Amino acid sequence: MKVVLKDLTKIFPSRNKKEKQGVTAVDHFNIEIPDGKLVGLLGPSGCGKSTALNLISGLETPTEGKIFFGDVDVTDLPPENRGVGLVFQNYALYPHMTVRQNIMFPLENLKGDAKLSKEQMEERVQQAADLVQIGTLMERKPAEMSGGQQQRVAIARAIVKYPDVLLLDEPLSNLDARLRLQTREEIRRIQRETGITTIFVTHDQEEAMSISDFIIVMRSGRIHQVGKPQNVYDDPVDLFVATFLGTPQINVFEGEVKDEKLFIGDAEILDVKGARNGKVWACIRPEGFIPDPKGPLVCHLNGVEVMGRDSSVVATHPADTAIIRAIVSSESEIDKALDTVSFSLKPYKVHLFDRETEERIRFDY
Amino acid sequence: MKKNNLKGWLYLLPALLFLGAFMVYPLIDVLIYSIEEGYNSASQTFFGYGLYNYSYVLHDPYFLQAINNTFILVAITVPISTGFALLISLALNSIQKLKDFFQTVYFLPYVTNTLAVGLVFMILFKKTPYSEGLVNLLISWFGGRSVDFIDGPYWAKMFVLCFYTIWVVLPFKVLILTSALASVNQDYYKVAKLDATPRWRVFTRITLPMISPMIFYLVITGFIGAFKAYSDAVALFGTDLNGAGMNTIVGYVYDMLYGNSGGYPSYASAAALILFAIVLTITCINLMVSHDNVQY
């Protein structure tokens, strides 16, 4: 089922009565999520991504705007009639029920034509449990299971009704690092097998990038960029998106463009054809540095961290106090005894943003 | 290591002394009193040891009356007060406006003195040569015949005692249950809403199991409290409870010690131990039942 948000806005009234203006959690969302895709809603804490999810589920009512599932306007539909499955961050499994009872609970509420016989219910429950691979734990209580297993039960409970849209709120944040890797593959697999349009919320860019077909990057209630993970990473529209995506973080310098040339400090670093003159944020991805004794970017070398496959060069630039991290191939020769290290740059890994508006300034290379 | 152990005991000593002097010693003493036959408190002498005191108490019509009263009180007030408390808490939990106000109102009886409340109940229910009492006024308005609730028939007196007891124990239960309800994670209700769970099913399948530990706590303490009832009856019917036919087991124990017919610590001890046995049995049954029903 395709999900379309039109001018979707949610303003929470202010608690403080003197302040008339409320908090805008979601600010004019316009987006179309194609059928059968896995979409990551990505943003820092408190940016309104969970509110957006709650609006789609119907647990919150929008202040303005419309929500469509397919061609049907569901804005005024109560949550139970929307056909959504929601997995909460803390899973919200009923602690006094077994796995089987938990998964069966939604089916037992079905009324009228949708009502199922006991055998049909058992079958659906087993089917959902097998899909998330917890078929052997059916008689356990949630407290007797690991976080990852509880997560699976929560997903099974959400999909047992065959929802048109599956919503996951921070699905991996309660899991340890190893389980997180495993579970995100699981989510990807379950989504592929069921073909349910899935939207998941996360603040972890790696998580979103790794499994999403699409990511939506948002901050303070506004969508900054939508696109395939790789495209958004390679082609950020503004400084926020550039700095939010990628580990280690992108390196940000105060730079200036003069006569189609980029200067950091007094050094001319790069030809930037087509860029207008002015002060800019010059952002360089860690993998955009090439160690080159004759390179234009001369930095003070703080150290080299060897990580096996590649090395991380930690340096500072005289024009800026911030620490630079460059990821270079472990074969590249860097003389650790020297005080300085020089780099030339891969131009497509360098992004310029206006110092004031933080909008992207494009240039040819 | 050994020295540390010694230190630990030293720290425990004040508490142990206190408990020993005011808990363990009296308990043993009560047990001894209860098997000393023909104890005379003036001369502090007795004939010998045996179970006669128990036999006397169990054949004393006043004690049987007290047991009867206590059991009726327990059987009526515990379920009704817990049920009412649950209803009130659910209502309190579902309103937004004036919630704090109503919470305060429901909690007021808890901080009000028992005897003062008893006085108010007297005014409400008692018939005097000068007035019929407020409740009787109401009854006569609706065309009923006035009843003397304080000195009248047994059922009327028992009604007032139960009414009073429920009113007194309600606030604490409401307090416990409202906080229990408020501590249920709201996410469960959101999930239930998404699954179109009918309200009644939400209550029976989610709310009730979630707060069941608290309900059982209230039932158990309610039973114990009701078995130990005494001051409520005194507040309503005065100190001559035997005369009013409204005595409770604890009241009987008190009368045997200090009342008009008092001065029999042996009988009092025997009655106290019988009460102890009853409360212990009921609590064990309660715990067994709750173990089967409180699932998490």
Task: Give me the residue from B187, B194, B196 closest to A57, CB to CB.
Answer: B194
Interval B145-156 mean pLDDT: 80
The residue whose two tokens read 């939207």 is A199
pLDDT of A134: 87
pLDDT of B1: 55
Query: Got the DSSP string for A271-322?
Result: E-BTPPSEEEEEEE-GGGEEE-TT-SEEEEEEEEEE-SSEEEEEEE-TT--S
Q: Which residues does chain B have within 8 Å of residue A95's beta carbon, measured at their own beta carbons?
A: 210, 296
- Spatial distance between the Cα atoms of B221 and B81, rounded to a whole number of angstroms: 12
With respect to residue B28, please indicate whether it lies within any of the assigned structural domains.
no
Q: Is the pLDDT of residue B279 over 60?
A: yes
Maximal CA-CA distance, chain B: 81
Interval A146-155 mean pLDDT: 89
- Spatial distance between the Cα atoms of B261 and B278, rounded to a whole number of angstroms: 25
Q: Is the pLDDT of residue B228 over 80?
A: yes
- Please name which of A190, A197, A154 lies closest in space to residue A175, comparing C-alpha atoms: A154
Query: Got the DSSP string for B82-124?
Result: HHHHHHHHHHHHH--TTHHHHHHHHHHHHHS-HHHHHHHHHHH
Q: Which residues does chain B have within 8 Å of residue A141's beta carbon, measured at their own beta carbons?
A: 296
A219 Cα distance to chain centroid: 11
With respect to residue B185, please indicate whether it lies within any of the assigned structural domains.
yes
Of residues B1 and A1, the one with the higher pLDDT is A1
Interval B32-55 mean pLDDT: 82
With respect to residue B2, please indicate whether it lies within any of the assigned structural domains.
no
What do you get for the CA distance between the two ends of chain A, in Å? Answer: 41
Give the model confidence (pLDDT) of A182-214 as tens digits: 888 888 998 998 899 999 999 888 888 888 999
Q: Which residues does chain A have within 8 Å of residue B198's beta carbon, measured at their own beta carbons?
A: 109
Contact between A80 and B209 using a beta-carbon 8 Å cutoff? no
Q: Return the residue in A56, A81, A109 with the most chain B beta carbons within 10 A, the one to mutate for interface testing.
A: A109
Query: Got the DSSP string for A82-144?
Result: TTEEEE-TT----TTS-HHHHHHHHHHT--GGG---HHHHHHHHHHHHHHTT-TT-TT--GGG
pLDDT band at A324 (very low <50, low <70, confident <90, very high): confident
pLDDT of B290: 80
- Please name which of B18, B37, B38 lies closest in space to residue B26, comparing C-alpha atoms: B18
pLDDT band at B296 (very low <50, low <70, confident <90, very high): low
- Spatial distance between the Cα atoms of B34 and B271, rounded to a whole number of angstroms: 8
Walk across the sheet containing A360-361 and list its strands: A267-271, A261-264, A251-258, A278-284, A350-354, A360-361
Interval A236-248 mean pLDDT: 91
Interval B163-187 mean pLDDT: 90
**Beta strand A251-258 pairing with A222-227:** unpaired
Q: Is the pLDDT of residue B243 over 80?
A: no
pTM of the shown model = 0.78
The residue whose two tokens read 């219910």 is A121
pLDDT band at B104 (very low <50, low <70, confident <90, very high): confident
With respect to residue B39, please indicate whether it lies within any of the assigned structural domains.
no
Query: Got the DSSP string for B209-256?
Result: HHHHHHHHHHHHHHHHHHHT--HHHHHHH-S-HHHHT---HHHHHHHH
Pick from A42-46, B1-5, B260-264: least confident: B1-5
pLDDT of B176: 92
**Phi, psi dihedrals of residue B159, rounded to the nearest 5°:** -60, -45
Q: Which residues pair with A305 in a beta bridge?
A: A312
With respect to residue B34, please indicate whether it lies within any of the assigned structural domains.
no
With respect to residue B21, please indicate whether it lies within any of the assigned structural domains.
no
pLDDT of A109: 86
From B294's Cα to the closest Cα of chain A, the distance in A is: 9
Peptide bond into A248 cis (omega under 30): yes
Give the model confidence (pLDDT) of A249-264 as tens digits: 899 988 899 888 898 8
Give the model confidence (pLDDT) of B176-214 as tens digits: 999 999 899 889 999 998 888 888 999 999 999 999 889
Q: Which residues does chain B have within 8 Å of residue A88's beta carbon, measured at their own beta carbons?
A: 187, 190-191
Contact between B190 and A86 using a beta-carbon 8 Å cutoff? yes
CA angle in degrees (0–180, nearest 5) for A66-A67-A68: 120
- Please name which of B16, B52, B19 lies closest in space to residue B33, comparing C-alpha atoms: B52
From B196's Cα to the closest Cα of chain A, the distance in A is: 5
Of residues A174 and A129, the one with the higher pLDDT is A129
Question: Could you give the percent of chain A with pLDDT greater than 90?
Answer: 33
With respect to residue B217, please indicate whether it lies within any of the assigned structural domains.
yes
Q: Is the pLDDT of residue B295 over 70?
A: no
Q: Would you tell me how many other CB atoms lie within 10 Å of the CB of residue B127?
A: 17
Give the model confidence (pLDDT) of A267-279 as tens digits: 888 888 888 888 9
pLDDT band at B3 (very low <50, low <70, confident <90, very high): low
The residue whose two tokens read 């940016």 is A47
What is the rounded average pLDDT for all residues in chain A?
Answer: 88
- Please name which of A247, A312, A324 lies closest in space to residue A283, comparing C-alpha atoms: A324
Domain count, chain B: 1
Question: Could you give the percent of chain B with pLDDT greater than 70?
Answer: 98
Give the class (CATH, top level) of A3-237.
alpha beta
Could you tell me the CATH number of the domain that includes residue B90? Answer: 1.10.3720.10
Domain with CATH 3.40.50.300 in chain A: 3-237
With respect to residue B10, please indicate whether it lies within any of the assigned structural domains.
no
Q: Which residues does chain B have within 8 Å of residue A96's beta carbon, measured at their own beta carbons?
A: 209-210, 295-296
Of residues A18 and A228, the one with the higher pLDDT is A228
The residue whose two tokens read 């890797």 is A181
Task: Give me the residue from B190, B195, B205 closest to A59, CB to CB.
Answer: B190
pLDDT of B38: 77
pLDDT band at B156 (very low <50, low <70, confident <90, very high): confident
pLDDT of B53: 87
Interval A75-92 mean pLDDT: 89
pLDDT band at B94 (very low <50, low <70, confident <90, very high): confident
Contact between A92 and B188 using a beta-carbon 8 Å cutoff? yes
Half-sphere exposure of residue A112: CA atoms within 13 angstroms, side-chain side: 2
pLDDT of B98: 83
The residue range of the domain holding B286 is 60-293
Q: Is the pLDDT of residue B245 over 70?
A: yes
Contact between B196 and A81 using a beta-carbon 8 Å cutoff? yes
**Phi, psi dihedrals of residue A292, rounded to the nearest 5°:** -155, 110
**Helix (H) / strand (E) containing A329:** strand A323-329
- Spatial distance between the Cα atoms of B98 and B110, rounded to a whole number of angstroms: 20
pLDDT of A81: 87
Give the model confidence (pLDDT) of A125-141 as tens digits: 998 998 888 888 899 99
